[in-house]
Structure formats: structure tokens, C-alpha cells
């Protein structure tokens, strides 16, 4: 899991509770909603077969090449962030 391209540590116990160094995220990455809550970019990477086995919404999966017509916001990769150039290292517990 990464957050805006920055490595994140997922805390045990269920839910999406994680820690990330916010200085390693692109500018204007966060939003908010009136819940109150912060809205952060989260990327999960897994094999397609694992996503299907977890009951993922396979009817909504698209190839990356199919997204070329959609508007994109390009941001510079922040130095030291491994994603998406290098796979993130596994955390040693």
C-alpha cells in the first residue's frame, strides 16, 4: 500500500489505519469531507488473481492502456519514494 506514492505502514487490527510521512506526498494531496474526515490518496497493489479471490469488483477492472483517454494530473515523483518506479519493500515485523 502506498499513499500518494509514499510508502505507508499499515497498522494491524483491521480497517485502513496507516501511518505515512505526509512530507513525501505531492502538494494538495489531501481533501476533506464534512464527516469530519481527511481524504487521502491510497493505492493498493496486488495480483489480479488475488483481487478476484477477495471478491473484487472484476466488472470494473480496466487495463491501464484503456485509461489513456481520461484526464490525468501528472505530479513529479518525490525523491526517495519507491512507488511506482520500484516495488515497495516488505515491512519486517
pLDDT of residue 89: 57
Positive or negative: CA dihedral 88, 89, 90, 91: negative
- In whole angstroms, give the CA distance from residue 31 to residue 38: 6
Is residue 84 over pLDDT 70? no
Range of the domain at 46: 2-67
Is residue 91 over pLDDT 60? no
pLDDT of residue 92: 47
pLDDT band at 90 (very low <50, low <70, confident <90, very high): low
Q: Return the H-helix or E-strand segment holding 53.
A: helix 48-53
User: Apex CA 1: angle with CA 78 and CA 80, to 5°?
Assistant: 20
51 located within any domain: yes
- In whole angstroms, give the CA distance from residue 25 to residue 40: 10
State pLDDT tens for residues 18-73: 888 888 888 888 888 888 777 877 777 788 898 899 898 999 998 877 777 767 77
34 located within any domain: yes
pTM of the full structure = 0.52
Average pLDDT over residues 10-24: 82
87 located within any domain: no
88 located within any domain: no
- In whole angstroms, give the CA distance from residue 30 to residue 47: 27
pLDDT of residue 83: 61
84 located within any domain: no
- Number of domains into which the chain is organized: 1
86 located within any domain: no
Could you tell me the three cell numbers for 28? 494538495
Q: Report which of 82, 86, 79, 44 is spatially closest to residue 61, judged by C-alpha positions.
A: 44
25 located within any domain: yes
Amino acid at each position: 500500500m502506498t499513499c500518494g506514492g509514499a510508502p505507508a505502514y499499515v497498522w494491524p487490527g483491521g480497517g485502513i489505519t496507516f501511518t505515512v510521512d505526509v512530507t513525501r506526498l505531492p502538494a494538495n494531496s489531501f481533501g476533506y469531507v464534512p464527516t469530519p474526515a481527511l481524504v487521502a490518496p491510497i493505492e493498493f497493489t496486488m495480483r489480479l488473481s488475488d483481487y478476484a479471490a477477495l471478491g473484487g469488483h472484476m466488472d470494473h477492472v480496466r487495463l491501464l492502456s484503456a485509461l489513456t483517454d481520461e484526464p490525468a494530473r501528472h505530479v513529479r515523483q518525490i525523491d526517495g519514494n519507491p512507488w511506482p518506479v520500484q516495488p515497495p519493500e516488505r515491512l519486517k515485523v
